[in-house]
Amino acid sequence: MAKTWFITGTSSGFGQALAKIIAQHEDVNLIAAARNLADLAYLNDYDQTAIEKVVMDVTNKDQIAEAVKQGQARFGGIDVLVNNAGLGYFGTVEESNEADVRQLFDVNVFGLANVTKAVLPVMRQQKSGLIINVSSVLGITSLPTFGWYSATKFAVEGVPNVLRQEVKGLGIKVMLVEPSGARTKWNAGKTAPVEINDYQQFAEMISGAASGTTQAPGDPVRIAQLMFDVATADEPVPGHLPLGEFATNGMKQELSTSLAEVEQYHELSLKADAPA
């Protein structure tokens, strides 16, 4: 029986690359979500019998409910949800704009939660499913000017890590993908330009991001293909999938530094517990 994938944010970047991979597979159905259906015209090049386009802003619960209903009605279920839609934002912690940061959380965190909660009843009823969450290496470690973006991706890590445990007995799997920086339009996300002189060293990083020019190593097509390959491999899906050298090395560095500190303060830490 054909598997059905539901992907958010398929207008561009990773989402579009993954949608194209799935659209080429005869035995896989695609529910492609985008805020504007016109952005999905590229899918007209593929066989339409296994493609359903749905309008969905991840911050709009009515659109999410309608999209899930439409996809389910067309294909009878949802086997794989890919929470891919997301925004970028570049600015120092102090200079970032609160309204922009709240919008970032609305899309990257609450949007992902909204879609997940709408699809979970379908998967619970099926007693099967896989939820893939596109996080980032910056959901494990971080860099100057990415503080608030990282904060959203740390939340994107936290919620699925718990959900994985809660749905373990229900036949539902949860995977996090942590790509390196990649060559997508995400790099032209919103920015908070440096105005405080003390942060001048970060001005170029932010203006570079604003211009959308990127030397990022990640190739969106390769990243999408690897996500698909790991998700469809005949072995258990990993909890975390770093993709790219920067992602793998960044995660190793962060986790080994944290582990070394935990070991260093091990004896002191145990003194915090009340005596037995």
Ligand X SMILES: NC(=O)c1ccc[n+]([C@@H]2O[C@H](COP(=O)([O-])OP(=O)(O)OC[C@H]3O[C@@H](n4cnc5c(N)ncnc54)[C@H](OP(=O)(O)O)[C@@H]3O)[C@@H](O)[C@H]2O)c1
Q: Where in the sequence numbering do the catalytic residues fall?
A: 135, 149, 153
57 binds ligand X (CB under 6 A): yes
Q: Cα–chain-centroid distance for residue 268?
A: 37
HSE (CB half, 13 Å, CA atoms) of 115? 32
192 binds ligand X (CB under 6 A): no
Instruction: Indicate which single residue of 21, 28, 81, 134 sits in contact with ligand X (rule: CB under 6 A).
Output: 134
Q: Is 3 helix (H, G, I), strand (E, B) or coil?
A: strand
87 binds ligand X (CB under 6 A): yes
Q: Which stretch binds ligand X (CB under 6 A): 121-129, 176-184, 248-256, 259-267?
A: 176-184
Of 85, 84, 82, whose CA–CA distance to 28 is shortest?
82
136 binds ligand X (CB under 6 A): yes
101 binds ligand X (CB under 6 A): no
Least separation in angstroms between CB 73 and ligand X: 21
Instruction: Indicate which single residue of 25, 42, 55, 59 sits in contact with ligand X (rule: CB under 6 A).
Output: 59
Least separation in angstroms between CB 109 and ligand X: 11
Q: Write out the two tokens for 174.
A: 């949860």
Residues 1-40 that bind ligand X (CB under 6 A): 8-9, 11-15, 34-36, 39
Q: Look up residue 116 and give its amino acid.
A: T
Q: By beta-carbon distance, which residue lies closest to ligand X?
A: 13
CA distance 162 to 133: 13
147 binds ligand X (CB under 6 A): no
Angle at the Cα of 167 from the Cα atoms of 163 and 172, rounded to 5 degrees: 110
HSE (CB half, 13 Å, CA atoms) of 7? 30
242 binds ligand X (CB under 6 A): no
Task: State which H helix or E strand residue 113 sits in.
Answer: helix 112-126
CA distance 166 to 119: 15
Give the interface with ligand X as residue ranges (CB under 6 A): 8-9, 11-15, 34-36, 39, 57-59, 84-87, 107, 111, 134, 136, 179, 181-182, 184-186, 216, 218
